[in-house]
Amino acid sequence: MTELTSFIAGLPKAELHLHHVGSASPRIVAELAARHEGDSPVPADPAALADFFAFRDFAHFIEVYLKVVDLIRDDEDVRMLTYEIGRELARQQVRYAELTITPYSSVKRGIPAPAFCAAIEDARRGAAADFGVDLRWCFDIPGEAGLPAAEETLRIALEEKPDGLISFGLGGPELGVPRSQFKPYFDRARAAGLRSVPHAGETTGPETIWAALQDLGAERIGHGIAAAQDAQLMAYLAEREIPLEVCPTSNVRTRAVAGLDEHPLATLIRAGVPVSINSDDPPMFGTTLEEEYAVAARLLGLDAHGVAGLARAAVTQSFLEPAGKAALLAEIDEYAASNVA
Ligand SMILES: O=c1[nH]cnc2c1ncn2[C@@H]1O[C@H](CO)[C@@H](O)[C@H]1O
């Protein structure tokens, strides 16, 4: 392990773009597949999962993702998955994470919304007590399921209102799924005090990001890497300090970019766009948040101070309360002061 990777390993972090089902580790997926032996194409052998998590393109990634969603059959599966995500985050010194959860996909598969929300809240309390990880929820609309999914996601958000719920998002494919159709749902979610964090500019161009800003009141953008194609958009994001939740390896594994050396992260940083570094669906992309920090350090030529700056940026851009932000920023600074030669 190099000096920088060991510095990253111990660095207190925050993660802002992490998907619930996408974070199911090979062990958890194998355990869920074994629970539902025989009626799932998902391999119950963790070693076979690496091949299963190889994607021809983004559409194929979503297809595989939904096969793993099918493994989540009851509230006990939800509770176990969510609690284990807390364990994995603590292993990486993540103190605070905003987890993107898609209640529609599980409720549609027969898990009642109240039981779903009780399970994630049990896990949130357990992760805080057992692992010292503060989990919050973003409820997102699976875009491919369109307006019925938007309606149901908003209804669950407003009627169940789990304690950890802080934001409202939009995931899934962007191609053929215009952001503008979801404006009424984002208007109502924002009116109820939820923060707006839709995906945009992951697999389509800057126009999708403009739409997320203008139609959905986006306060942060999921991915948003297409902003690098539009200097005016980057200037707009920089001036208004609207952050992008960048997930470098995800973009390579879903074929959104050809390779890490073609990733626009450095262009975005040079233009002054606020950026956080995230892992998105780490087991599916064969990565971890620690690894994403190492990738960003390589792409941006960062030393330990620069890497500590990545952690500070994620905390600053988070929806954590001011006192929590101040405490976590102080912890990061203390760690950097004690561990940077
Ligand atoms: O990188 C991603 N981009 C867009 N959607 C994603 C990504 N990772 C996971 N999801 C999830 O895919 C589902 C589609 O129905 C949604 O639940 C979304 O949260």
Model confidence at 33: pLDDT above 90: no
Q: Where are the alpha helices (DSSP H) in the chain?
A: 3-10, 26-35, 46-52, 58-69, 75-91, 103-108, 113-131, 146-160, 183-191, 206-216, 231-239, 248-253, 265-270, 289-300, 304-317, 322-339
* CATH code linked to domain 2-336: 3.20.20.140
84 lines ligand 1 (CB under 6 A): no
Token pair recorded at residue 160: 């169940």
Model confidence at 31: pLDDT above 90: no
Write down the ipTM of this complex: 0.98
Calculated CA dihedral for residues 77, 193, 246, 24, nearest 10 degrees: 0
What pLDDT is stored for residue 138 in this prediction? 98
Over residues 222-232, the mean pLDDT reads: 98
70 lines ligand 1 (CB under 6 A): no
- Categorize the per-residue pLDDT at 27 as very low, low, confident or very high, splitting at 50, 70 and 90: confident
Over residues 149-163, the mean pLDDT reads: 98
What pLDDT is stored for residue 300 in this prediction? 98
153 lines ligand 1 (CB under 6 A): no
C-alpha 132 to ligand 1 mean position (Å): 27
What does the DSSP 8-state code read for residue 22?
G
C-alpha 334 to ligand 1 mean position (Å): 35
In the set 98, 121, 202, 219, the catalytic residue is 202
What pLDDT is stored for residue 40 in this prediction? 82
Look at residues 327, 298, 320 and name the one whose alpha carbon lies nearest to residue 310.
Answer: 298
Model confidence at 50: pLDDT above 90: no
Over residues 52-80, the mean pLDDT reads: 92
- Annotated domain spans of the chain: 2-336
Residue 207 annotated among the catalytic residues of the structure: no
